[in-house]
Amino acid sequence: MSADKKLFIKTYGCQMNVYDSERMAEALGGKGYVQTDTPDDADMILLNTCHIREKAAEKVYSELGRFKGLKAANPDLKIGVAGCVAQAEGEEIIRRQPMVDLVVGPQSYHRLPAMDDTVRRGAKALDTDFPEDDKFDMLKKRKRASRAPTAFLTVQEGCDKFCAFCVVPYTRGAEVSRPSARVISEAHELVESGVKEITLLGQNVNAYHGHEGGLAGLIWELDKIDGLERIRFTTSHPNDMDDALIDAHGSCDKLMPYLHLPVQSGSDRILKAMNRKHTAESYIKLIERIRAARPDLLLSGDFIVGFPGETDEDFEDTMSLIREVNYGQAYSFKYSTRPGTPAAEKPQLPDDVAADRLQRLQALLKSQQIANQDAMVGGRVKVLFEKEGREAGQLIGKSEYLHAVYAEAPKEALGQVVEAKVVESSPNSLAGVCL
Ligand code: 5AD
Ligand code: SF4
């Protein structure tokens, strides 16, 4: 195999897909592929897809349609669909779009090199199994080439929670935790290649059970790694925030004061219909306990509006919860019917009702985000600089609370944590002056 095949990966959806795309690129690197940032000169195009909300599959089919010309111009171009749409649609993708050569589900990426051999022979390759083995373990070791100072590390996949709206338990399968020894050795490799901050990923990351003491146990192991300065994790379910993890937020200096803890709704009736297995009050109590451990914690969340049966009163309960909690930032979505999930069977709300609620809810969340950021002006943040800004002499990094921070700093500060005074707050970032 020649050493200069070009691979273009387009990534949709969550951070786990970003991580998976990196690992797929590494796996195909062993077959002589190097990544390119345009599909135009690629020998392989992979769409790493997301299925969490509506029209995901339709978007993938229309994106594929746009590659027709490229395929006609280069018969050696191979096109693959990976990720959750691949898992959900399977061979239907090749049936509907015969120019697709390869369909690979999220649990089978380690088989990509063999699948590449198959497609290079002119055959189709399809793999949407849920194999027993750890795909990450089967993948090539991560490269030591110099890399960004921040990295994702998937420690857990799948979910057993079965929220009534969500496809994840079907597309990503049952909850599986990677053994901590493998996670820790991967973390060492990342740190040796210059990584200062690791974000542990999982669809239900705080349900991690690959180490004694769960996710908190793993965090304390990672805390011992010299050179690793920051640890984060996402995304969590309120029912898996155990005492040890709450304590770690108060006592582990490397664990950053930021927590993404989705509640979805503030109405107990809707939470029950969503099969969330917690109430608005239990969530608020939990937040109080976490804030007692770490008072400056910046809280993030996910909200769904327009879930089947949601009344004006239910929606007002969600607005009240948001006012009570005060989020530093959050994600919010209109409920989207996912075929095969329990909520899809229920009568749906009119779209304009949901759209109106979403607008109101987002306005409230935005006002909280802005107020929180404005309150930081005059204070100090610790910034891990990740890249150069657009203006000369400017670097961009993240505060401990995950704000984007711009500041004038020498290039040597890239990859370093620097203390800065916040001088200005914009809707999505802070401006700082290094101290
Ligand atoms: N409709 C709208 N939002 C959804 N999410 C998951 N499934 C759906 C759906 N069917 C949101 C939830 C979840 C986030 C990742 O995506 O808020 O926390
Ligand atoms: Fe989906 Fe998260 Fe609920 Fe699991 S806990 S079913 S991933 S929303």
Sketch out the chain's domains with CATH numbers: 5-127 (3.40.50.12160), 141-256 (3.30.750.210), 380-434 (2.40.50.140)
pLDDT at 81: 96
52 lines ligand 1 (CB under 6 A): yes
For ligand 2, atom 3, the nearest C-alpha belongs to 163
Q: Ligand 2 centre from 84 Cα, in Å? A: 14
Coil, helix or strand at residue 66: coil
Amino acid at 185: S
Please give the Cα distance from 390 to 129 (Å, whole number).
44
| Shortest-distance atom of ligand 2 to CA 276 | 3
Q: Ligand 1 centre from 166 Cα, in Å? A: 6
Amino acid at 429: S
The helix/strand count (H/E) of the chain reads as 15, 19
Ligand 1 pocket test, pick from 12, 333, 335 with the greatest ligand atom count within 8 Å of Cβ, gives 333
> How many angstroms separate the Cα of 424 from the Cα of each of 378, 381, 432, 433?
8, 12, 7, 10
Parts of the chain with a pLDDT under 70: 1-3, 132-134, 138-146
pLDDT at 396: 97
Phi and psi angles of residue 255, each rounded to the nearest 5 degrees, phi first: -80, 120
The DSSP 8-state label assigned to residue 14 in this structure reads S
pLDDT at 3: 58
pLDDT at 134: 66
pLDDT at 4: 80
> What sign does the dihedral 95-96-99-104 (CA atoms) show?
negative
Please give the Cα distance from 269 to 161 (Å, whole number).
18
54 lines ligand 1 (CB under 6 A): no
Q: Ligand 1 centre from 26 Cα, in Å? A: 30
Decide if 408 contacts 171 (C-beta within 8 A): no
pLDDT at 130: 78
Its pTM surpasses 0.85: yes
| 14-48 pLDDT tens trace | 888 998 999 999 899 989 999 999 999 999 999 99
Q: Ligand 2 centre from 262 Cα, in Å? A: 9
Q: Is 252 annotated as a binding residue?
A: no
pLDDT at 1: 46
Decide if 327 contacts 301 (C-beta within 8 A): yes
261 lines ligand 1 (CB under 6 A): no
